[in-house]
Structure 1
């Protein structure tokens, strides 16, 4: 167990089940690893079966019981089937981590309608589908939802109009569900990671202005780790956060305070010649 994880009880999440969309890699897999270390059972879903199998093996090596399901979050029926399979295999869902996301760098005028719809579909529609499909199980367990959001939701960001619109929708979705589902015992919150080392998102988004510019934009002067995001997700999923709902939790080293403004100036200095998928 790492020094960071040693601050939490290794039985904090014993007997609980977490369902993680986009759980095969990146921040979402990092969250899964923290949950596994703290005693949770896991179900991960995504579109790439081989990636999910590799991730499941890593999680099982940490002692977790793991189910992996190939499902596109834009397909509500596929998600519902994956969640039924989860309940049968490792128990009803206590925690939903809605983390599936898509992104790319592109000026607004160069994004096709299909490119914009793809990001909104994966991020926002996928988040709703996951929450909707999980609701009955979460109501049964008095469970919680943690949506993985992004700073683009509340700070205009160069080349990110598609992601910003999708993540802003997720923030509003979270608050509405916290309000509506609270009487059923279901909590909802968002985590907003800053630049996280070793993730595809940071690699893509820092490709133009460079990693050094990103680090300069973080008041703490460094990238975060997937484990740091995972620990916060574990706390939100645990009894420690039993009275926390409707909240946006930033795990970003202070990046959201001024970071996007600094990066905007760097992008303007370089010009905005990025292209988007058709």
Structure 2
């Protein structure tokens, strides 16, 4: 789809994205690049990085990839510094690296729980911490009088509760808390905006294929307010909005982009039966007026 934003909405910006080589992260990388940003991608798999960088460059987008694990402070520091060395500065950090799989709480080992927490929540904070010197107002390489921007990708799983997702729900709740706290502290002290996006089910992504197999895909759509899955483009456009001047007064917000799914529950009554049952209940109520019940005492 054609972007509603101007092609130069992010002109001159330098963005570093973890998890930016595949799925939602790659679409954000692409759209940031299409809107004028230079792109650095951090990931653990060299082949994924190479393919992503090659694709971005084929579109005329300045791009570079760096191998690294967000769980390791030394990797985070090295990649942030390498990005600044390559492009001269850092304006935007997107934390999209994540781990996920379906598992019941009783079958999930403490180590499995810890692994997802380390990637999603600890990794997010680690990247933010190492990027701070370059994102804050007046930081090295910054020609602007304002600070940079941090975007953390979370989820809506923890808004209520989710079957077989206790590890990710806990990790994403921590990511959202990190987003709000950094927005408060770093927004005040360093003029850095920190926001989040909470995607819903997004079609044609590795996460969707693992968490919602084709066998149950159709049933899931029936429970969604918009009756369709989201696309990677939907998430990327939300990211462009928040990263651009259009979102310059948005700070500490987590934007759900899920078609309203987190608000919904499966229908327990067909729509065409609502009025019929409602009238029936109302008629019974009128036929038996309320009154003070007699007591046997």
Partner of 1:42: helix, strand, or coil? strand
CA contact under 8 A between 1:153 and 1:171: conserved in structure 2?
no
CA contact under 8 A between 1:195 and 1:214: conserved in structure 2?
no
Whether 1:177 and 2:179 are equivalent positions in the alignment is: no
Q: Give the match for residue 135 of structure 1.
A: 132
Partner of 1:39: helix, strand, or coil? coil
Q: Quick one: distance in 1 between partners of 2:114 and 2:218?
A: 31
Q: Quick one: distance in 2 between partners of 1:218 and 1:130?
A: 34
Paired residues for 1:1-278 under 5 Å? 2-3=1-2, 5=3, 7-139=4-136, 140=139, 141=142, 142-183=147-188, 184-207=190-213, 210-258=216-264, 261-262=265-266
With 117-126 and 217-226 compared, the bigger mean Cα shift is at 217-226
CA pair 52-74 structure 1, distance change in 2 beyond 3 A: same
CA pair 153-62 structure 1, distance change in 2 beyond 3 A: farther
Partner of 1:210: helix, strand, or coil? helix
Q: Quick one: distance in 1 between partners of 2:214 and 2:168?
A: 17
> What displacement does 1:114 show?
1.2
CA contact under 8 A between 1:153 and 1:166: conserved in structure 2?
no
> What displacement does 1:235 show?
1.0
Q: Quick one: distance in 1 between partners of 2:226 and 2:90?
A: 35
1:211-241 residue CA offsets vs partner (Å, 9 max, x unmatched): 1122122211111111111111011111111
Q: Which has the larger radius of gyration?
A: 2
Q: How many residues align?
A: 258
User: What RMSD over aligned residues (CA atoms) do the two structures have, in Å?
Assistant: 1.4
With 202-211 and 127-136 compared, the bigger mean Cα shift is at 202-211
1:33-82 residue CA offsets vs partner (Å, 9 max, x unmatched): 11011010000011001110000111112221111000001011111111
Q: Quick one: distance in 2 between partners of 1:239 and 1:53?
A: 31
Larger relative contact order, structure 1 or 2 (CA cutoff 8 Å, min sep 6): 1
> What displacement does 1:175 show?
0.5
Q: Quick one: distance in 2 between partners of 1:262 and 1:172?
A: 29
> What displacement does 1:91 show?
2.7
CA contact under 8 A between 1:65 and 1:90: conserved in structure 2?
no
Moved over 6 A (4+): none
Q: Quick one: distance in 2 between partners of 1:116 and 1:87?
A: 33
Q: Quick one: distance in 2 between partners of 1:147 and 1:213?
A: 30
1:169-199 residue CA offsets vs partner (Å, 9 max, x unmatched): 0110101000010121101111011111110
CA pair 171-53 structure 1, distance change in 2 beyond 3 A: same
Given the two structures, how large is their TM-score scaled by the length of structure 2? 0.84
1:243-262 residue CA offsets vs partner (Å, 9 max, x unmatched): 1000010111111112xx54
Q: Quick one: distance in 1 between partners of 2:61 and 2:200?
A: 28
Q: Give the match for residue 271 of structure 1.
A: none
Q: Give the match for residue 268 of structure 1.
A: none
